[in-house]
A and B are shown apart, each in its own frame.
Chain A
Amino acid sequence: MKADPAGVLTGAHFLDGDFACGEGAMAAGCRFVAGYPITPSTEVVERISRRFPTMGGTFIQMEDELASMAAVVGGSWTGSKTMTVTSGPGFSLMMENIGLAAMMETPCVVVNVQRGGPSTGLPTMVGQADVMQARWGSHGDYEVIAMSPQSPQEAFDLTIDAFNLAERYRVPVMFMMDECVGHMTEKVVIPEADEIEVVPRQLTKKSPEEYFPYDLNGGQLPEFARAGDGYRFHTTGLTHDEKGYPVMSVECQEACVRRLVEKIRDNADDIVRFEEEGIDGADVVVVAYGITARVARMAIEVARNEGIKVGFMRLIVLWPFPEKRIRELAGKVKAFVVPEINYGQMVLEVERCAAGKAAAWLVPHGGGNVHDPETIVETIMKAAK
Chain B
Amino acid sequence: MSVATKQAARELQEHPSAPLLRMERIPHVWCPSCGIGTVVKCYATALERSGVDLDKVSVVSGIGCSGRVAGYMKLDAFHATHGRAIPFATGLKLGRPELLVTVISGDGDLVGIGGNHFIHAARRNMDILVILINNFIYGMTGGQNAPTTPISAKSSTMPFGNFEEPFSLPHLAASSGAPYVARWTCLHIRRLTWAIEEAIQRKGFRFIEVIAPCPTLYSRLNKLGTGLGEMRFYHDNAEIKHGCDTKELDIGFHEKIICGKFVDEERPSFLERMDSHYREVLGDKFVPMGPDGGMIHE
Contacts and interface: CB of A to CB of B under 8 A. Distances in A.
Interface in A214-251: 226-238, 245-246
B76 A74 contact: no
A79 interface: yes
Interface of A: 1, 4, 6, 29, 31-32, 34, 53-58, 60, 62-64, 66-68, 70-82, 96-97, 100, 198, 200-201, 226-238, 245-246
A62 to B, nearest CB: 6
Contacts of B22: 234, 245
Contact of A64 (B58, B116, B288): B116
Interface string B38-82: 000000000000000011101010000000001100111111110
A348 B141 CA distance: 39
Contact of A228 (B76, B86, B90, B289): B76
Contacts of B91: 32, 34, 70-78, 82
Given A54-B282, A58-B95, A80-B293, 7 more contacts: A62-B120, A71-B88, A75-B95, A78-B293, A79-B96, A100-B81, A235-B77
B95 A77 contact: yes
A91 B57 CA distance: 31
Contact count band on B: 35 or more
A78 B87 contact: no
Interface string B260-298: 000000000000001000100010011111100111111
A367 B164 CA distance: 44
A96 B99 contact: no
A14 B25 CA distance: 57
Nearest to A2: B298
Given A77-B95, A228-B76, A200 B296 contact: yes
6 contacts: A54-B282, A55-B287, A70-B84, A74-B78, A96-B84, A237-B80
Contacts of B81: 70, 96-97, 100, 237
A4 B120 CA distance: 33
Nearest to B99: A228
A62 B126 CA distance: 12
Contacts of A78: 91-92, 95-96, 99, 293-295
Contacts of A232: 54-55, 74-77
Contacts of B78: 74, 77, 227, 234-236
B298 A1 contact: yes
Nearest to A29: B296
A74 B288 contact: no
A180 B1 CA distance: 78
A63 B122 CA distance: 12
A231 B287 contact: no
Task: Identify the interface centre among A53, A68, A229, A231: most chain B CB within 10 Å of its CB.
Answer: A53
B80 A227 contact: no
Given A228-B99, A234-B70, A234-B79, A70 B294 contact: no
B117 interface: yes
B56 A228 contact: yes
B89 interface: yes
A109 to B, nearest CB: 14
Contact of A67 (B56, B87, B288): B87
B98 interface: yes
A74 B62 CA distance: 12
Contact of A79 (B95, B117, B274): B95
Interface string B3-38: 000000000000000000010010000000000000
B295 A63 contact: no
A58 B95 CA distance: 8
B120 A63 contact: yes
B79 A238 contact: yes
Nearest to A77: B92
User: What 3 A-B pairs come out closest when comparing CB atoms?
Assistant: A74-B91, A31-B294, A78-B95
Given A70-B80, A97-B84, A201 B94 contact: no
A100 B86 CA distance: 15
Contacts of B99: 78, 227-228
